[in-house]
Amino acid sequence: MTVPDDTKLAGQAARTTVPCSLAAKWLAAGFESSPLRQLAQLHAGETPARLQTDRRKSSRGDGNWNQPIELGQLPAKAQRLLHQHRATMEAIELMPEVLRSVGFDPAPANQEFAARCQKALDIVQRDLDATGYDQYQMRAQISEGWPAIVFAALPDGSYWSGGGGMARGEDSPSLLASAADSVSGVLKEIPEIEWPVCAIHGGHPESIWDGEDPVDLLKKVAWWRCTSTGHPLAPVGQLTAETARTR
Ligand SMILES: [Zn+2]
């Protein structure tokens, strides 16, 4: 495996101590749960038994931190940093469970996030309405699990989770682009409609499944693109019968 460089590891290790120190303080303040104790143990450099077994099953994240490595092959400093790096990743994975275990309910935050996504979908809806697809009234559908992702859902509640969806950390232009992409994706995957389609070039000549991505961010503005040639069509929310085909 590739070992991340020292600088990156040291930065991550510094951040690790924050949730773990907090866990120790919460325990001292009288909060009590098994996940909270596990998190506090990470601070002391111990690996909780549950995580030892879970570590190899976990596939979340893009790092290879959970793969076995022969620590004896590394210099002492790198071993220490790698250990801290693993503790960071374990703390990140454990945090949502810890919060739930002491009574934190993420539902209000999720509702607020879904409402923000619905506002983005309402902008995309203008384009559906302008091109004659107003029967598809898009609704924000929040996914199960963590981190929460929101997808565009059809009026019957069906949605397609194969696309990226809308993520909590996205800024407004990026969230609008993701909303547009999710709408285009659900129309393609469920009723099998290519939308939107360039008024001049049409869609991809052979298949709606081929062609360019329908949405792009240009100078921090979400734009529809021609799926046939890739040129910009119009900013999301500003499609007209001149730029896109109507039904
Ligand atoms: Zn075109």
92 and 209 fall within a common domain: no
90 and 68 fall within a common domain: yes
Backbone angles phi, psi at 142, to 5 degrees: -85, 135
Query: For residue 14, how far is its CA from the centre of ligand 1 (angstroms)?
Result: 50
Yes or no: say if 186 and 154 are a contact pair by the CB < 8 Å rule: yes
Residue 1 lies in a domain: no
Instruction: Give the C-alpha separation, 36 to 32, whole Å.
Output: 7
Residue 180 lies in a domain: yes
Query: For residue 47, how far is its CA from the centre of ligand 1 (angstroms)?
Result: 56
115 and 210 fall within a common domain: yes
Give the domain-ending residue among 101, 119, 141: 101
Query: For residue 175, how far is its CA from the centre of ligand 1 (angstroms)?
Result: 24
Neighbours of ion ligand 1 (CB under 5 A): 198, 200-201, 226, 229
Strand ranges (E), 53-196: 139-142, 149-153, 166-167
CA 215 to chain centre: 17
Q: Is the dihedral of CA 50, 63, 170, 126 positive or negative?
A: negative
Tens digit of pLDDT per residue, the chain (247 long)?
445 555 565 555 555 566 677 888 888 888 889 989 988 887 555 554 444 444 444 444 444 555 555 666 778 888 888 888 888 888 888 888 888 888 888 788 899 999 999 999 999 999 999 999 999 999 999 987 777 899 999 999 999 998 889 999 999 999 999 999 999 999 999 999 999 999 999 988 889 988 899 999 999 999 999 999 999 999 999 999 999 999 9
Query: For residue 247, how far is its CA from the centre of ligand 1 (angstroms)?
Result: 17
CA 31 to chain centre: 30
What is the DSSP track for 132-162?
T-TT---EEEEPSSSS-EEEEE-TTS-B-TT
212 and 143 fall within a common domain: yes
82 and 151 fall within a common domain: no
Question: Residue 174: which domain range?
Answer: 107-235
202 and 123 fall within a common domain: yes
Query: For residue 51, how far is its CA from the centre of ligand 1 (angstroms)?
Result: 52
Q: State if pTM tops 0.75.
A: no
221 and 152 fall within a common domain: yes
Give the domain-ending residue among 101, 127, 144: 101
Residue 222 neighbours by CB distance under 10 Å: 24
Give the domain-ending residue among 35, 69, 101: 101
Helix (H) or strand (E) holding 235: strand 232-235
Q: How many domains does the chain have?
A: 2
Instruction: Give the C-alpha separation, 176 to 114, whole Å.
Output: 13
Query: For residue 198, how far is its CA from the centre of ligand 1 (angstroms)?
Result: 5
Query: For residue 240, how far is its CA from the centre of ligand 1 (angstroms)?
Result: 14
